[in-house]
Structure 1
Amino acid sequence: MILRNAAVTWLGIALNHLLALVLTPFMVAHLGQSGYGVWILVISITALFGLLDLGVSSALTRFTAMQLAQGDLPAARQTQCVALTFYLFVSLTVLAGFTALAWAAPSLFGICGELQRDAQWSLLLVGLATALVFPARAFEGLLLAKECHHLVRSVDMAVALLRFGAVLYFLPLGGGVKTMSAIHLAILSLGAAIVVGLSLRRVPLGGPPRLAWDWAVLRQILAFGRDIMLMIIGDRARAQLPNVLIGMWSTSLDVAHFGVGARLIQNEATLVNHSVGVIQPRFAALKARQELAASRHLWLRGTLYAGLVAGYLGLGMACLARPFMHLWLGPDFETSARVVWYLIGPITLYLTLRPCDMLLVGHNRHRLSGLVGLAEIGVMLPASLALVPLLGGEGMALALAGSLLLVRPWVIPRACARLLELPLWRFWVQGLGRPLLTLALTALVAVPLLAVHSLDTWFELFAALGLYSLVYGPCLWLVGLPRAERELWLERLQGWCQAVARGKR
């Protein structure tokens, strides 16, 4: 079941990346650059409203999983009912918030001309969609508690495909951003209805849920979600708040240029985060068994592999961002390539340090990660206020990059080293030293090779990617991986070959 859930999750990630690769130029062509910027702004506002969840969805999954495992159906039903009631209040808050934003949009955001009216309608429609989706989380949590992740992710993929088809069909008919918002409302409502139906069928709790208010249950739910919400706030604000701030202090055109570059960076972050996240339960298990030496080894090893993966993706994006952007969206999005260049170094370092966050979560010290995330937002806000009016999206990229470099690298590793009673220099040398040497050697060889020819076709771009990978591979094997890791991979490769040979027989 775990393997099936993981496979469906990775399939969903790949599908979303592929659909975004196809849809983005299509949407830019039909919405225009400024219209596409308005759409990014609306979606970013929607993501920030998701913070009103307050960690209830995670808590609902945890508590109902325990109650269902114990066979206590009345308690599970009561937990769901309290969560559903809470989400209904959240939905009313969302409707009020989006209505206020729609009314204030012309004066609050740098949107000009007829796009102001479109932005107002879009905020109302997307706000309604967000309000409808919140109560469905009370049902989605039950499916996750029963380890039916594959069902939830399958619904997500079906919704993504339906949205893809609807955009291709309806957007050329006209309506611009309002059409996108109507599609968003219709498809999300359908997805929420499917999740509710699956939950009622797969996890019957003795009757349909009803509205109920139990302060003791709600306090228990909110207490669990409190610390994890600090991390969620930092991550969500880092990803979405820049688009909103650019919309307030600059123009929707700058939102589009920054948003496209930031989207590429977020794709890198998604791949690394899903790879690193698998070690968090191992940290918790080692903590429970008081195996300090094994925790140190896992921390250093996890940082090594996170750095090697993030470094490969980051250096490749730095080398190929400009030709990719020209082929994908045209030379008008040259600014997006510069956004990638400004952000790629700090984001790669941030992703390399993600095993530190997994260690803190496993040791129940994740509040520190959340506080550091809030501190980064505190640094980013005044910097962006100074830079965005002058430089637009590039100014926001510089502000975000600076915030990622000023706090996290100097606080989180030190706290983890103290927690594991490990000298900090060992982390920097053994955890980060080899990835940095691998990147330096790869850049020394690959960058001059890639700079020789201009990449004017998709074939040339993919050929350059292949050349870069051929250079990075030997550098990784000879420099990035220590001898013990190379021997381990050789043993695994030999085992896989033997398994294939036995299967053929």
Structure 2
Amino acid sequence: MTSRAASLPPDEASRRFVVNVGSSLVYAVLNTGIMFWYIPFLLKHLGVAAYGMVPLTSAFVMFAAIVCEGVNGAIYRNLAIDLNRGDLSAAQRTFNSAVILTIAVSCFLLIPIVPLVWLFPQLFEVPPDLERATRFLIAGSFFTALIFIIGSPFDASSLITHRFDVRNAVRSAVALSKVGIVALCFHVWPASLVHVGLGVIASALLGLGGCVIAWRRLTPQLRLQLGAVDLHRFRPLLNFGVWSAVNTAGMLLLMQVDLLMVNALFGPTMTGRYGALLAFAVLIHTLAEVVVPIFNPAIMARYAIDDFTGLRWLLQSAIGLLAFGLALPVGLLCGLGRPLLSLWLGPDFAELDALLAILVAHLAVNLAGRPLAYLLSAHNKVKQQGLVTLALGVVNIVLAVTLALWAKWGVLGIAAATAIVWTLKNTLFLPVYAARVLGLVWWAFLPRLAGGAAAVLVVALAGRALTAMWSPLDWIGLAAMAGAISAVYAITLLALVIRPDDRRLISRLIFRRTHG
């Protein structure tokens, strides 16, 4: 195969839009169904305090995700540029160097992981009778992180070839196997956190196998060749990876440290209650994953061929569509949170509707800006982004403790700090810096983000007003209320908000036209 044949058409993501979004929708629906079943299932069989160890260990292991995302971002960027430019020889060197690098990094991470697993019950509030099971669970979670790192070079194939259908099939199998193994173990033996750990480990191995199979099928031109390892490739991979990791560290301080602080300040029971509500934030992230990652290959492809006009057009429309699209589910959760929590987890959780609103209200704006982060990665502008994000992550911790203890807001203060600081980053820094990189006016992306925030407020107020007049007593009533709000919102959006550029983007993606 020639190097030119190995390159990918710049608008491949656009031509595969329908299949990719369709598979992502299926994955999002599957994840939503699993979430609504799995969390009450664990709460019922384990209890609130024991269940709290599940999201707590996941949040703690997120430090390994700093390395995961740094390595993954570096591999994807360099490999995508090599293939989009048709340089198969360079792609071979990048791929094989990345494989060796990920194995070395995983081995190095074992040094801090072993003592952290042992000391975890001493670092956090863990019920005494759950210490051994919790250690096993966190060991399994760390194992999953290492498997993710090792699988990064293989996982990049489905992204670069824009085969999100294959990627989502693997992720769906992983999600089903994780909960399926736990359900089977709970059926055969008394429920234990050990079974949750077994599900995590088995699903990680299944995911690695799926990534390897996808790599062999989608990118046969990329082969494992020890002779293709290029020591000179380590430096650009590590350089980009380090600053990408710094950015990820800041994001984790913004997005993941809240549950750790809840455990430290308010104990395991509140950790379980807070962790259950965090699932809705994860749900919104999952919905964003339906579309957001599809723009990444398109952005990278346009950057590789210096199509900066196409980049500006794509980003402005993408941000608007994401902001207004996410505003509906976010607004519904804010407006209908009390009856939703009462029906799903029981009346005891209904009083946490304000906490739910704080956890999700900012997500429409903050997730809509993600394509701008892809732009900065393409331009290798991750250093500045990483430093700002890390600094704001530290600010988030200080503000969270201040609001929770000094201002006496309790857990609401921890959630509010995350919402405030993350929104500041994605309104005052990210869009302004991205506009500067593209040579646009500093406020170029802000109107669409502001529109998304306004849409969240309108939908939330509509939900609050309806529930004040008539509180739904069952799922059918709640669904009817949400459906009515959604219908009015969709009609208004199509008639008054969606711009000609947005319609053109949707049309070109769906009908597989390319942007010239």
Establish whether residue 165 from structure 1 lines up as the match of residue 165 from structure 2.
no
Q: Where does 1:81-120 land on structure 2 (aligned, <5 Å)? A: 81-120=96-135
1:330 aligns with: 346
Distance of aligned partners of 1:473 and 1:231 in 2 relative to their CA distance in 1, 3 Å threshold: same
Equivalent position of 1:454 in the other structure: 471
Distance 1:110 1:471 in 2: 46
Structure 1: state its 5+ residue gaps.
497-505
Aligned partner letter, 1:393: V
Unpaired runs of at least 5, structure 2: 1-11, 512-516
CA drift of 1:184 comes to 1.5
Give the CA deviation at 1:454: 1.6
- Per-residue CA distance 1:172-201 (angstroms, 9 max, x = gap): 422411111022212322332444455457
Closer/same/farther in 2, CA of residues 125 and 205 from structure 1, 3 Å limit = same
Aligned letter for 1:304?
G
Aligned partners of 1:194 and 1:117: how far apart in 2? 31
CA separation of 1:439 and 1:42: change in aligned 2, threshold 3 A:
closer
1:347 alignment partner in structure 2: 363
Corresponding residue of 1:248: 264
Aligned mates of 1:143, 1:407 — CA distance in 2: 30
Q: Helix, strand or coil for the counterpart of 2:336?
A: helix
* Number of residue equivalences: 487
Q: 1:476 to 1:335 in 2, by over 3 A?
A: same
Counterpart residue identity of residue 53, structure 1: C
TM-score after normalising by structure 2: 0.80
Report deviation, 1:469. 1.4
Instruction: Let me know the Cα RMSD of the aligned residues.
Output: 3.8
CA deviation string 1:446-472 (max 9, x = no partner): 532232112221111101101211332
Distance 2:39 2:190 in 1: 17
1:397 and 2:415 correspond:
yes
Q: Indicate if the aligned counterparts of 2:24 and 2:291 stay in contact, CA closer than 8 A.
A: no
State which drifts further: 203-212 or 9-18.
Answer: 203-212
Do the aligned partners of 1:322 and 1:334 also contact (CA within 8 Å) in 2?
yes
Query: What is the SS of the residue equivalent to 1:250?
Result: helix
CA offsets per residue over residues 90-141 of structure 1, 9 Å max, x none?
Answer: 3334433332122222221012231223212322333344434533334334
In 2, the alpha carbon distance for the partners of 1:204 and 1:301 equals 34
% identity of equivalent residues: 23
State the Cα distance separating 1:78 from its structure 2 match: 5.0
* Cα distance change on mapping 1:93 and 1:177 into 2, 3 Å: farther
Deviation track 1:223-250 (CA, whole Å, cap 9, x = no partner) reads: 3434444443343443322223333343
**Paired position in structure 1 for 2:430:** 412
Q: Secondary structure at the match of 1:114?
A: helix
Contact 2:177–2:202 at 8 Å: present in 1 too? no
Q: Is 178-187 or 137-146 further displaced after alignment?
A: 137-146
The alignment status of 1:32 with 2:47, answered yes or no, reads yes
Matches of 1:143 and 1:424 in 2, distance apart?
35
**What aligned pairs does 1:258-297 form with structure 2 within 5 A after superposition?**
258-272=274-288, 274-279=290-295, 281=298, 285=302, 288-289=306-307, 291=309
Structure 1 residues 193-220: Cα deviation after superposition (integer angstroms, max 9, x where no partner): 4444554577567986659975322113
CA distance in 1, matches of 2:287, 2:33: 14
Deviation, 1:322, is 1.7
Corresponding residue for residue 154 of structure 1: 169
- Native 8 Å contact 2:144 2:201 kept in 1: yes
Distance 1:406 1:126 in 2: 31
Alignment equivalent of 2:197, drawn from 155, 169, 181? 181
> Match of 1:288, SS?
coil
Q: Is the 8 A contact 1:246 1:254 kept in 2?
A: yes
Instruction: Report the alpha carbon displacement of residue 33 of structure 1 after superposing the two structures with TM.
Output: 0.8
**Among 452, 473, 483, the residue aligned to 1:466:** 483
Deviation at 1:400? 1.0
Instruction: Give the letter aligned to residue 433 of structure 2.
Output: A
1:433 and 1:207 map into 2 onto residues whose CA distance is: 47
Residue 396 of structure 1 aligns to a residue whose secondary structure is helix
Deviation at 1:29, TM superposition (A): 0.8
Listed as ranges, the matches of 1:43-58 within 5 Å are 43-53=58-68, 55-58=70-73
With structure 1 as the length reference, what TM-score do the two structures score? 0.82
How much does 1:15 deviate? 1.8
Structure 1 position 8 matched with structure 2 position 23: yes
In structure 2, relative to structure 1, the CA distance for the partners of 1:78 and 1:386 (3 Å cut) is same
CA-CA distance at 1:406 after TM superposition: 4.1
After superposition, give the CA deviation of every residue in 1:276-297 in whole Å (9 maximum; x if it has no partner): 4545535973893453xx7666
Pair 348,212 (structure 1): closer, same or farther in 2 beyond 3 Å: same
Q: Which is greater in Rg?
A: 1
Instruction: Establish whether residue 126 from structure 1 lines up as the match of residue 144 from structure 2.
Output: no
Does 202-211 or 338-347 show the bigger shift? Answer: 202-211
